[in-house]
Structure 1
């Protein structure tokens, strides 16, 4: 795949009124509206009814919206393609550590989110019989910040800061065709076509963009997870702490999200992910059956969880082996977040690393885009190399931690509960990977 574009082709295209578009393009598009939004990213229709875009972001998840917002704050417009009819309301909660909050500060949404979610003060580790093994307070690690954040709220907050019409809903990617000297041609399921100078794949674990670039399918690691969100309209009684509970081949945890909501998870071993179950009541009952004799606090949170908010997912990852795995970028196409480096949730770094990716890539692209295709390709390669050095060790470490915590041998579990956790675990080294600094992305006028 080779492509070249003159520097002048990266200047922004003239905006035509929608009334001048061919009728096939004047179809109804669902959009995000907000009084804080500014000008729409430039769009122009060519003679063959193919839209032309400077930058197309595929996927309106955390990585996609954070990347688009980072670019927007640096004065670079983009269009985000989302296959759904609206922002994804599914999922439960995710835990963001210090590095995630640094990025959210950088792109100007952290304070709005902080006002809605509790700051977690520490963590408690217990055995499945309720015995406390170890506890920590996060004050032991200077500068640490931990909050559980509802995924839906995070997505809505990021989207609300984008210009109107940035997100194109019901836009499912069908194929990518590399065109010499013209960038990439994106074909959509509804027949639409977009010619893009830069394509940023933020389309999740099963990313079509990553598959097109030659990445292998993510590998199932031998564990599945149930997740849910307990609801307490009158307020819950739990302290703002992460609670971990360890059993044999089975572990669980819960953490308050807000004064009325508590996130929980159960991770269990399985030779295969098993059949897909669509009945949420069945999923909830399966989860309860796994821990029916465990501490009552966990069972209480689960019982207070609406059936339709319980999900089950197989845990997967992809190790980015040097020399064996494709680069994150190739000729104007680049991948970000789970599309590039799906990792297990054992370190709570999936979303945090996606946020890191977004701000690093945006800064490099914004500095290079006026220099033409060669400059952009160099910036993408720089992003790939810089981020690989951080992502590969984290992916491996997360997988190793998960394997250790999922032990099912009784002697090994006794060693974990009586020696490893009480005497060997130290909070500072365990959270060292959350050290990440980035400058504030001060808003600039669109180019």
Structure 2
């Protein structure tokens, strides 16, 4: 029998995972990426046990778990350094069945791309969905080199997804959260530190170790959409966070201004009516962009990809019926993760001293009376399991 053909538009983490998962299910797959190379700059990604189990399905879970760097203590702090809530890596692994792994996006992209046949990923190739397809016709993608027809098109083209706009032109799309984020990878500070996220007034900071000895740091703060520093982004971060506890000043001192990424944060406040139409499916930010405050954006994209491939086996009704099952499985779960991420963002970025003091007191009190508060916030998220047996199993 002729192999079914899939075209994946976008070579981010979700798109690459979908390509690997479909390839392992017997699909002939090509990935079309607009950018000239797969080299994410300055960005880390946190992989929780839920996405690690999804990666087990495609044989990469153990390689990712081997990159876990968090050992021992960690938790939530105030800008002065006071611990509001503490946990440790062993407790997280016990509760959810695996460690929390933080790695550079380029590392994960390299693992995924390395699991694909040569020539699968084609960079510098912009692609536009021209026809989503239907029961009796293939989907069609337009490229500078001509049109491609496929049994399945995967729209993994990000938060501003043209594929989403083509499938659901009446949907309002993502909305601005009211804050912006900065991300940077730097050499590790000389003085040791415990991994942490720190909540202040209308701003937060996080610092976490990477396996290669560097650290990944991120920050968020209330800011109008489109605003930028009048000098450079390191100077802006120093103004906002330079007096916060160790290791924040040391990380900022080591940061290269040119390596700092700044992005306004948008999210899908209104869920899509479906994640598919015809023979075309959406995944990741194209389907359900969310605030980064639970660290689940990339994790949910990995889940999407594995569930999509699971349903993309031959079924009565063909690909359109398979994609309806994919929507049925993924839309309610991701909508709930988006809602929980948005709630966490609002709490983390409270403004006004009385509200911040009340928040911090409540977190510290609950954490003292019921240790493990931070971990309980991931119940129903990090304990997810894929709908298929894993290679590890």
Q: TM > 0.5 between the two?
A: yes
Taking the aligned partners of 1:199 and 1:406, their CA distance within structure 2 comes to 38
Structure 1 contact 138–144 (Cα < 8 Å) conserved: no
Structure 2 segments unaligned to the other structure (5+ residues): none
1:269 aligns with 2:212: no
Taking the aligned partners of 2:35 and 2:384, their CA distance within structure 1 comes to 32
**Structure ID, larger Rg:** 1
Q: CA RMSD in A?
A: 2.3
For residues 104-253 of structure 1, what are the structure 2 equivalents within 5 Å?
104-141=55-92, 142=94, 143-178=97-132, 181-188=136-143, 190-214=144-168, 215-232=171-188, 237-239=191-193, 241-253=194-206
Taking the aligned partners of 1:178 and 1:265, their CA distance within structure 2 comes to 37
For residues 375-390 of structure 1, what are the structure 2 equivalents within 5 Å?
375-390=318-333
Q: Which residue of 2 is the match for residue 7 of structure 1? A: none
Taking the aligned partners of 2:192 and 2:111, their CA distance within structure 1 comes to 26
Structure 1 contact 105–440 (Cα < 8 Å) conserved: no
Q: Which residue of 1 is the match for residue 22 of structure 2? A: 71
CA drift of 1:169 comes to 1.7
Between 1:127-136 and 1:407-416, the stretch displaced more is: 127-136
Between 1:282-291 and 1:417-426, the stretch displaced more is: 417-426
Taking the aligned partners of 1:367 and 1:242, their CA distance within structure 2 comes to 45
1:359 aligns with 2:306: yes
CA drift of 1:366 comes to 2.2
CA drift of 1:223 comes to 0.9
Structure 1 residues 196, 259: closer, same or farther in 2, change over 3 A? closer
Structure 1 contact 56–200 (Cα < 8 Å) conserved: yes
CA drift of 1:178 comes to 4.9
Aligned length: 380
Q: Which residue of 1 is the match for residue 209 of structure 2? A: 256
Structure 2 contact 159–289 (Cα < 8 Å) conserved: yes
Q: Which residue of 2 is the match for residue 94 of structure 1? A: 45
1:394 aligns with 2:337: yes
Q: Which residue of 2 is the match for residue 81 of structure 1? A: 32
Between 1:53-62 and 1:201-210, the stretch displaced more is: 53-62
CA drift of 1:165 comes to 1.0
Structure 1 residues 174, 378: closer, same or farther in 2, change over 3 A? closer
CA drift of 1:191 comes to 4.3
Please, what TM-score do these two structures have when normalized by structure 2?
0.90
Per the alignment, in what secondary structure is the counterpart of residue 151 of structure 2? strand
CA drift of 1:72 comes to 1.4
Structure 1 residues 137, 442: closer, same or farther in 2, change over 3 A? closer
CA drift of 1:82 comes to 0.8
CA drift of 1:259 comes to 4.7
For residues 413-428 of structure 1, what are the structure 2 equivalents within 5 Å?
413-423=356-366, 426-428=373-375
Structure 2 contact 85–373 (Cα < 8 Å) conserved: no
Structure 1 contact 126–245 (Cα < 8 Å) conserved: yes
Structure 1 contact 205–338 (Cα < 8 Å) conserved: yes
CA drift of 1:431 comes to 1.7
Structure 2 contact 133–140 (Cα < 8 Å) conserved: yes
Q: Which residue of 1 is the match for residue 284 of structure 2? A: 337
Structure 1 contact 71–366 (Cα < 8 Å) conserved: no
Q: Which residue of 2 is the match for residue 24 of structure 1? A: none
Structure 2 contact 266–290 (Cα < 8 Å) conserved: yes
1:290 aligns with 2:240: yes
Per the alignment, in what secondary structure is the counterpart of residue 271 of structure 1? coil
Taking the aligned partners of 1:122 and 1:104, their CA distance within structure 2 comes to 26
CA drift of 1:156 comes to 0.8
1:429 aligns with 2:376: yes
CA drift of 1:196 comes to 1.8
Structure 1 residues 342, 91: closer, same or farther in 2, change over 3 A? farther
Structure 1 contact 264–302 (Cα < 8 Å) conserved: no
Please, what TM-score do these two structures have when normalized by structure 1?
0.80
Structure 1 contact 364–379 (Cα < 8 Å) conserved: yes
For residues 49-68 of structure 1, what are the structure 2 equivalents within 5 Å?
54-68=5-19
Per the alignment, in what secondary structure is the counterpart of residue 334 of structure 1? strand
